[in-house]
Amino acid sequence: MPALTPADVLFDGEPQPAVLPPCDHYAGSEKLIRKSLALQAQLGPVFDITLDCEDGAQVGQEAEHAAMVASFVGGEDDRFGRVGVRIHDFAHRAWRDDIRIILRQAKQAPAYVMLPKIRSVSDAAEMVAFVEATRRELGIAQPVPCHVLVETHGALAQVFELAALPGVESLSFGLMDFVSAHNGAIPDTAMRSPGQFDHPLVRRAKLEIAAACHAHGRVPSHNVSTEVRDMTVVANDAARARNECGYTRMWSIHPEQIRPIVEAFSPRADEITLAAEILLAAQRAQWGPTRHGDTLHDRASYRYYWSVLRRAQATGHALPDECAPFFGGN
């Protein structure tokens, strides 16, 4: 009988919480899409690429832009299947056409569909249902996950319900639109650091989104950093998002931002080693309580260390050979 893995024993039959690459990089034009795919081929699937129909398309050219986006999804440069799309928002006439065109014309389904400017659970539920109905109509075998952009008062007020929606994989925070929605009551300094972490209303929004995601096994994705020259600022933003606000993923709007984001969300080498040692000992003990050094461990701490190894894998870190069976290896 093969040894039981962490996924077999630590979640009481419930699905494991979602784990995604720690960076979500946005590209809207054909030129930037090609550059992003080339960088992904170089670095590996440690970041996702979101092809942008919302801000990328010219007015009146939405269908043509969606077709261009579809040509890259599953194409020869999509080497890892980690390319998603952002469609138009619920109030825009083109969002249904975006879905139809992309799911029909792409060589494979996108890794996810980002739903922007959600104002209520009912908006999100209708969009998720349309994605699901379209993929069934087209004979696409697997469901296409949906990501929800929380940037309105209505979405924040219903954030736990949004995270609970079947078909939703991740919630993202839209900082700029959220601050603007307060009509000057929040200063523009809250659109960048350190204000974005220190202003109480903005910090509250970030924490509510992260808490909702973790309650329902979704991935909380942090807003962009607007700094495109000083990458220490980006690295610090990513570190604060992870360590202070509980985020496990962050948006990128410039290729130079990708590496510092991935690094900030990656477990350290000593964390990976410790997690592997504890989980291998737990497996040998048939997942009963164990002792590592002077510290006792049981399934509660095993779940934590399993999340470390899953994040390490998602960020491209080498794991001890003995841990390969945990992930279905030999």
Tell me what pLDDT residue 2 has: 66
Average pLDDT, the chain: 95
Residue 15: which of 176, 204, 184, 143 has the closest Cα? 143
Average pLDDT value for residue range 211-240: 97
CA distance from start to end of the chain? 14
In the numeric block, which tokens belong to residue 114? 């980002």
* Domain 23-265 fold: TIM Barrel (3.20.20)
At residue 149, φ and ψ (nearest 5 deg) are: -95, 115
Least confident window among 7-16, 78-87, 226-235: 7-16
Tell me what pLDDT residue 329 has: 57
- Cα 172 to Cα 161: distance, rounded to the nearest angstrom: 14
Residue type, 9: V
Average pLDDT value for residue range 236-250: 98
Residues 93-97: contacts with CB within 8 Å, 24+ apart?
94/53, 94/57, 94/62, 94/63, 94/66, 95/127, 96/130, 97/62, 97/63, 97/66
What is the Cβ-side half-sphere exposure of residue 303, based on CA atoms within 13 angstroms?
Answer: 11
Residue type, 129: A
- Cα 165 to Cα 152: distance, rounded to the nearest angstrom: 18
Per-residue pLDDT tens over the stretch 89-104: 999 999 999 999 999 9
Query: Do 19 and 248 meet the contact criterion of CB atoms below 8 Å apart?
Result: yes
Average pLDDT value for residue range 172-191: 97
From-to residues of CATH 3.20.20.60 in the chain? 23-265
Q: Dihedral of CA 30/35/39/42: which sign?
A: positive
State yes or no: pLDDT of 1 exceeds 70: no
Which of the four pLDDT bands, split at 50, 70 and 90, describes residue 273? very high
Distance of CA 161 to the CA centre of its chain: 18
Average pLDDT value for residue range 238-255: 97
Per-residue pLDDT tens over the stretch 48-78: 999 999 988 788 899 999 999 999 999 999 9
Any idea how long the chain is? 330
